Structure 1
């Protein structure tokens, strides 16, 4: 309800309503004080009190707009007539609520001094001057403390609200960044997988095109590779597109395409079935399966290396070596000839060759490193190291 009221009532209107209500309430208190002083004073004092009552009520908007100036005027006028006491008290409370403590203290001291002057020449019936001064000092001190506490509480609540808003925005930012990073990772996975599948498909189709006289079983195997690669590419593309275009942005993103080193034999067999010559030097290969993240990263490195070799060094044999153990890390070495064309992983006519750039970033994210170069004999070297904790 409070939120609806704030939404329907603009700030300037709320301020005006507050001024009107405060003026009416204090006007009633001033009128009560004026009624009490009418029967106990001379006609001159009565007219003075009436005049000061009107002035005091008109002073309320000034106190709200400029608390220090209004409080000073109230403290001066209260020395003349008791009808100004409600406005002077309100000035102390409002100044302590809205202004620095030193300003509120000045208004409170001036109000107490005005009450002391008033009590000296217009004593309160039935109450000694000492008790009168003590009571008024305590009252003004209580108003000063109340207003200061209210200001401190308001500042604390605003700080807590601001901190909560900033924490909420920070959480939303982190969630958005995590979601974007996850989808970027999925897109990188898609690049690796589609490049591999499509290069297999192209190699098999090229073999069928340039060797129409091949034995039927070779042609059948090449057609099987084309069919399998196309089906896998469509399946994996549909899987990732579904994740990237999910209607529920807060839905968990499953781990896609989680191949590891255990899937390397199938990867090599697919490459060989497409006509690529792959030689594996696994004499020193790992005897146990590395952690899942290391295995996935190693699989992607080998996959991209074979894909680049088919794209940039078609017809050249690829030598693959893996070695590693827990504690020393996993090493991957890929070698292939380059012939007269672009080096595997180097710039191609179609673009700058971002595959190896992405692999280097992937290895760095896994805590490893990846380097590549072409030696003096024209052979392409790719070397990677990935951490493998005990």
Structure 2
């Protein structure tokens, strides 16, 4: 079925021509009613209240000519609606241009600010009191004409204001939809950035540690060199696999979520710790929690990424000191993760872009409904993250 409304909206000139034709037809009817001597509503609008009161005799052809030209002017009603409405108000005191006047008032109300609409409406109603000043026939007819004038003008303006309100709500809804879409895209970009940072930073830091060990130990035995090279190759391969997993998850539609590859969880933290220890880091773990496998997968992955980033930061900024990790809590009080390490005696300059890991950790905590607090003293750097234990 053809959507007539949508088809017409795509051809505004056709709509304007239809308005002109319809207004012309109604105007001819109004002119005929007036010429027949029926003066219950002499001009069906406040804009033409004085037509039958002026001592001028018009021939039928002359009476209809100006109103029809006024209808033709409606073709440009959207460009200059205020000017057109004011001109028609002036013409209406002599010619029966009530129909194009009402259309012009509707256009003003639908397309112009409320203040402008009110001013034009007041001008359009000025002939109402003028009728009582110039009237020479019975009072009831004057009153009926005044009532019809206010009713028609009020109806046209009210309808225009309603249309303006509908359009404004539609535009606001469209803006809100665009804003939500942009926020969703921004959220997706941030999620990609966090995943990329956590995965690549962890693996590349391991590569850097092992490559540095080869560089600073040129006298290492062939067996040690082979072992370090094997670890580097394994870490590089694991980095590629992790990156492919991240990209696969991000590309997988939600409707096919059951086909997604398994996601890292906090239960895999032992593997993370062993990788860091194999790279030469000293990591102490204290755990006093309920079964971590009962945690919601989304929260569990957030905890895993937070621990991964804590280990990465330790290797990058304080590799010579121990890292103390603590996990405590349960379903009732939530999970508290604490990471502490001594501050190096000699602090290196912060590289460009440093600090993104802490930003990502805080974002993950907040998105999971938790919070993060960091403390830096002269001797110790500490992170404390709290997350709700959702099942």
Q: Alpha-carbon deviations, 1:330-349, whole Å to 9, x = none?
A: 33333444554327xxx535
Whether contact under 8 Å (2:342, 2:381) holds in the other structure is: no
Please state whether the residue corresponding to 1:342 is helix, strand or coil: coil
Alignment of 1:61-80 (within 5 A): 67=85, 71=89, 74-75=92-93
Structure 1 residues 257 and 212, CA gap change in structure 2 (3 angstroms): farther
- 1:213 pairs, out of 213, 216, 220, with 220
Whether contact under 8 Å (1:96, 1:144) holds in the other structure is: no
Structure 1 residues 330 and 219, CA gap change in structure 2 (3 angstroms): farther
Structure 1 residues 229 and 23, CA gap change in structure 2 (3 angstroms): same
- 1:201 pairs, out of 195, 198, 207, with 207
What is the rounded CA distance, in whole Å, between the counterparts of 2:383 and 2:133 in structure 1?
88
How many Å apart are 1:139 and its aligned residue?
6.0
- The farther-off stretch of 179-188 and 97-106 is 97-106
What is the rounded CA distance, in whole Å, between the counterparts of 2:25 and 2:145 in structure 1?
22
1:168 counterpart residue number: 174
Whether contact under 8 Å (2:343, 2:381) holds in the other structure is: no
Please state whether the residue corresponding to 1:323 is helix, strand or coil: strand
Structure 1 residues 314 and 92, CA gap change in structure 2 (3 angstroms): closer
How many Å apart are 1:203 and its aligned residue?
1.8
1:223 counterpart residue number: 229
Matched, 1:49 2:51: no
2:78 counterpart residue number: none
Whether contact under 8 Å (2:89, 2:123) holds in the other structure is: no
1:355 counterpart residue number: 357
What is the rounded CA distance, in whole Å, between the counterparts of 1:266 and 1:62 in structure 2?
84
1:388 counterpart residue number: 388
What is the rounded CA distance, in whole Å, between the counterparts of 1:32 and 1:387 in structure 2?
79
How many Å apart are 1:164 and its aligned residue?
1.4
2:376 counterpart residue number: 373
How large is the Cα RMSD of the aligned pairs?
Answer: 4.6
Please state whether the residue corresponding to 1:213 is helix, strand or coil: coil
- 1:159 pairs, out of 161, 165, 182, with 165
Aligned residues: 345
Structure 1 residues 177 and 252, CA gap change in structure 2 (3 angstroms): farther
Whether contact under 8 Å (1:369, 1:385) holds in the other structure is: yes
Ranges in structure 2 where 5+ consecutive residues have no aligned partner? 38-54, 75-82, 109-116
Q: Alpha-carbon deviations, 1:218-258, whole Å to 9, x = none?
A: 555533432232122223334556777x799x999999984
Matched, 1:272 2:277: yes
- 2:127 pairs, out of 102, 107, 119, with 107
Structure 1 residues 332 and 6, CA gap change in structure 2 (3 angstroms): closer
Please state whether the residue corresponding to 1:382 is helix, strand or coil: strand
TM-score with structure 2 setting the length:
0.67
Matched, 1:179 2:201: no
Whether contact under 8 Å (2:337, 2:385) holds in the other structure is: yes
Structure 1 residues 145 and 370, CA gap change in structure 2 (3 angstroms): same
Structure 1 residues 162 and 362, CA gap change in structure 2 (3 angstroms): same
How many Å apart are 1:103 and its aligned residue?
4.4
Structure 1 residues 204 and 270, CA gap change in structure 2 (3 angstroms): same
What is the rounded CA distance, in whole Å, between the counterparts of 1:322 and 1:295 in structure 2?
12
Structure 1 residues 171 and 95, CA gap change in structure 2 (3 angstroms): closer
Q: Alpha-carbon deviations, 1:167-188, whole Å to 9, x = none?
A: 1211221121122122212202
Structure 1 residues 276 and 219, CA gap change in structure 2 (3 angstroms): farther
TM-score with structure 1 setting the length:
0.67
What is the rounded CA distance, in whole Å, between the counterparts of 1:169 and 1:66 in structure 2?
32
Alignment of 1:99-138 (within 5 A): 100=118, 102-108=122-128, 110=130, 117=136, 138=144
Whether contact under 8 Å (2:265, 2:301) holds in the other structure is: yes
Please state whether the residue corresponding to 1:49 is helix, strand or coil: coil
How many Å apart are 1:194 and its aligned residue?
0.8
Matched, 1:323 2:328: yes
What is the rounded CA distance, in whole Å, between the counterparts of 1:251 and 1:220 in structure 2?
46
Whether contact under 8 Å (1:200, 1:271) holds in the other structure is: yes
What is the rounded CA distance, in whole Å, between the counterparts of 1:204 and 1:388 in structure 2?
37
Ranges in structure 1 where 5+ consecutive residues have no aligned partner? 37-46, 78-83, 121-129
RCO higher in 1 or 2 (8 Å CA, sep ≥ 6)? Answer: 2
What is the rounded CA distance, in whole Å, between the counterparts of 1:91 and 1:350 in structure 2?
69
What is the rounded CA distance, in whole Å, between the counterparts of 2:338 and 2:36 in structure 1?
102
What is the rounded CA distance, in whole Å, between the counterparts of 1:72 and 1:350 in structure 2?
72
Structure 1 residues 333 and 3, CA gap change in structure 2 (3 angstroms): closer
